[in-house]
Structure formats: structure tokens, C-alpha cells
A and B are shown apart, each in its own frame.
Chain A
Amino acid sequence: MHETDMTKALIMTVRDWWDSQPERPPVEKIHLIVGQFTCVEPVSLQFAFEVQTRNTFLEGAELVIRETPLIAFCHPCQQQYQPDIGLRYACPTCGSPMEDIRSGRELKIDRIEYALED
């Protein structure tokens, strides 16, 4: 599954950051934001992360995934709504198509927590 490729990209990105740090600090947590309206399965991502970070600089680092719900904005009604994924996407009030997605498409490496001794 593509979670393996995505994890590779994730590790490469964090590696670039890590290489740019003079102290090469131990990474404790990586925070991801994953929208519910994407093709990414958080469980598969967790699994791939665990497997692919073994014996690397990220061994033992925790992957923290925050899921964001699908939220759309209906312009005719001037209101937000939460579509029923798999069942219905049109506005429940007026039936307009889902056009303006306000949340749920995120696939983002948000931030890294690292430790420093002094």
C-alpha cells in the first residue's frame, strides 16, 4: 500500500530537517495532520512508520497522528456542514454539491518534538 511510500517521504523529510540541525537532537515525536477525506489510513501509516524506522535515527520516535474531519461550506446557505463520507456529500439543507472543502484534505507533517540536554 502507498502508506509505505508516504512513510519513506516522511522519513526523508524529517531526515533533511535533522541533518540541518547542528546538534542532531534525538527526535521524540513527529506530529502529522491527516484529513479524513484522503486516501491515507492512519493505522497503516503507524505500522509502516514502526517498521521503516527500525535501526534508524528515528528508532523509538513516536508518530502522533491528528485526524481532521471532512467539513464543507455551502455558499448558497452560508453555512458549514459535515458530509457523510461514503453516503452523501451534497449540502443537507439545499442539496448543492460539495465544492468548498474547509477541512479533511490535509496531509501534513506539522511539527517535530526533539530533546536537548544542557
Chain B
Amino acid sequence: MHQTFDAALGINLLHVNQTGADHNRAHFDEWEITCLNVMSSPGAGKTVLLERTLDALRDRLKIAVIEGDMTTELDADRLRQYGAPVIAINTGRSCHLDSKMVAGGIHRLEHDYNPAEFDLVLVENVGNLVCPAEFEVGEHAKVALLSITEGEDKPLKYPIMFQEADCLLITKMDLAPYLDIDIQRIEANIRQLNPHAAILPVSAKTGEGLEAWFDWVQAQITLCRRPLEPVSAIGVNAKEFLTEQPVTTEDPAANDQEPAIDWILEADS
């Protein structure tokens, strides 16, 4: 007789990616590195922001870049002039970086340098507002850029990016006098989705607002090093994935834990 049976799985579709992200995160934590995942649509100013950041912080912090948005080899060269290692990832035609691609970059860092010497890894994600925020790569925080030339309604149209971000940079503020754009409306639209993230208007061209961004970066590093709670509990996404993981999860008690988001609230002030 032909009979149909049911097997309950209840496994998150992203669990393979999440396993890789946990692997990456374990490396970062072992080496006491803070990792920021920098995302935006193409041309919002990620590479230029990283240049300014490397330039301003190189005396204080040892920084490496994992570059997943290479338009040409010129991008990497621009970043290399500040003395930081720039590890270019071949993303093929992928619309986002996944944890496996970033693992390739991390293992290169481990192979070519002494990773424990680094304080900060900046990951420049593929230029795309749709999906990179959905794929954890092991970062401690997500940074999203929105340039003021993109319009006020982008946060509403690409809500997951703006909801998941821990820091939102409104970029190219120097262009504000030439555009008919309402910055307060951009902020209000972001706030509908994300009441806690830091929202920082900046211009990489004039330097406006960049000090606040550097302070935010520095605060993430300080918070990551603070041994008050296990670093693995940090991250707004942790809960989402933990509750969706298969029953074979190593620590079932973790499923009931609230994610620790105090540090994001603090970064806001």
C-alpha cells in the first residue's frame, strides 16, 4: 500500500549561511576584532567613506578591509594607499556577500597577517539595498548608507535594510543645497522601522558629520571588548536565527534569550 508520511523539519532556510556566520564571528572574537558590515545601493558612497575612515583612524586603530563591491581594481588601490590590507572578494554575480565568501577573506587575513593585531574589519558589501542585510556574515553591527540623492522613500521601499541596520549614514549632505530633499522626512521614514539605530548625516566630501561616525565606530570597538556579556549574545539578528535553528542547536537555552541590544541604544546618544 502507498502511504504518505510527514517529517517535521522546522529549519531556517538561512541556517547554512548562519553556521558560516557563526564561524566567522568566532574568528573575530578570538582575535578581538570588531567587524562592521557596510551596505548601501551602488554609488551611495561606501568606498569613499571607508577611505575617510582609514585616513582618520589609522593612527588609533589597525584596520583591514574586506572588499565585496569592486567595480575595478582601482577601488582597492584607492583604499590601499592608507596602508590597510584590502582583501578583495570575488562575488561573481551574487547580489550580496554571504558568510562563506567573507570566510574566504578572513582566512586570507589569517594566512597573510597576524590577525590578532587588528582592531577593526570593515566589510564593504555588494551595492544592493534588497538582500545584503538578510545574510549575516559574522559582523558585530550593520551599517547602512543612504545618499540624499536617492530620495526620501527608500527606507520604506527597502525596509529590511533600514530595519536591520545599527547605524544609518545619510550621505552626500554637501549636495543638500542643490536638491529638493527633506532630510527630516528621511529620518522619520527610517524611524518608522528602526527607533534605536544611530542616524548620522555626513558628507565625505566636506567632512561634515564624520567625527560622529568615527565616534560611533570607536564606541563599537569599546563595547565589543567589554567583557560584561558573551559577545555571541550581541546582535539584533541573533534571536531571529536562534529561534529558527534546528533542534540540534548546541545550546537550546539560548533560544529563549533576548538579544542584547543595550549597546545599540547607547550608541544612539
> Are B2 and A12 in contact (CB-based, < 8 A)?
no
List the A side residues contacting B7 at CB < 8 Å.
Answer: 17, 111-112, 114
Residues on the B chain within 8 Å of A10, using CB: 13
From the candidates B6, B8, B157, B192, name the one contacting A97 in the complex (CB within 8 A): B192
Taking a contact as CB atoms closer than 8 A, the residue among A2, A17, A87, A113 that contacts B94 in the complex is A2
A38 within 8 A of B: yes
Q: Are A2 and B131 neighbours in the complex by a CB distance under 8 Å? A: yes
A22 at the interface (CB under 8 A from B): no
Chain B nearest CB from A59 CB (Å) reads 18
* Interface footprint category on B: 35 or more
B10 partner residues in chain A, CB cutoff 8 A? 108-111
B149 within 8 A of A: no
Within 8 A of B (CB), among A13-59: 13, 17, 25, 28, 32, 37-40
Pick the interface stretch among B14-22, B37-45, B65-73, B177-185.
B14-22
B32: A residues at CB distance < 8 A = none
Instruction: List the B residue with the shortest CB-CB distance to A28.
Output: B4
Contacts of A17 in B (CB 8 A): 7, 9
B156 x A89 contact (CB < 8 A): yes
Q: Assess A86 versus B157: contact at CB under 8 Å? Given A112-B6, A116-B5.
A: yes
Q: Known: A39-B131, A39-B160, A86-B157. Contact between A13 and B9, CB under 8 A?
A: yes
Cβ contact within 8 Å between B195 and A108? no
Q: Would you call B34 an interface residue if the criterion is a C-beta within 8 Å of the partner chain's C-beta atoms?
A: no
Q: Which residues of chain B from 107 to 165 have any CB-CB distance to chain A below 8 Å in the complex?
A: 130-131, 134-135, 156-157, 159-160, 163
A116 in contact with B3 (CB, 8 Å): yes
Given that A86-B157, A116-B3 are known contacts, is A108 also in contact with B11, CB under 8 Å in the complex?
Answer: yes
Looking at A9, A39, A90, the one whose CB has the most chain B CB atoms below 10 A away is A39
Instruction: Report how far A37 CA is from B192 CA in the complex, Å.
Output: 15
A94 within 8 A of B: no
Known: A39-B131, A86-B157. A9 touches B17 (CB 8 A): yes
Whether B3 contacts A108 by the Cβ 8 Å rule is: no
Q: Which 8 residue pairs of A and B lie closest in terms of their CB atoms, listed nearest first? A: A39-B131, A107-B13, A97-B195, A9-B16, A90-B192, A89-B192, A112-B7, A109-B11
Q: Pick 12 A–B contacts, CB within 8 A, sort by A.
A: A2-B95, A6-B14, A13-B16, A28-B4, A38-B160, A40-B13, A88-B156, A107-B244, A108-B13, A109-B9, A109-B11, A116-B5
Chain B interfacial positions (CB closer than 8 Å to A): 1-17, 94-96, 98, 130-131, 134-135, 156-157, 159-160, 163, 191-195, 240, 244
Report A's interface with B, CB cutoff 8 A.
1-2, 5-6, 9-10, 12-13, 17, 25, 28, 32, 37-40, 85-90, 97-99, 105-118
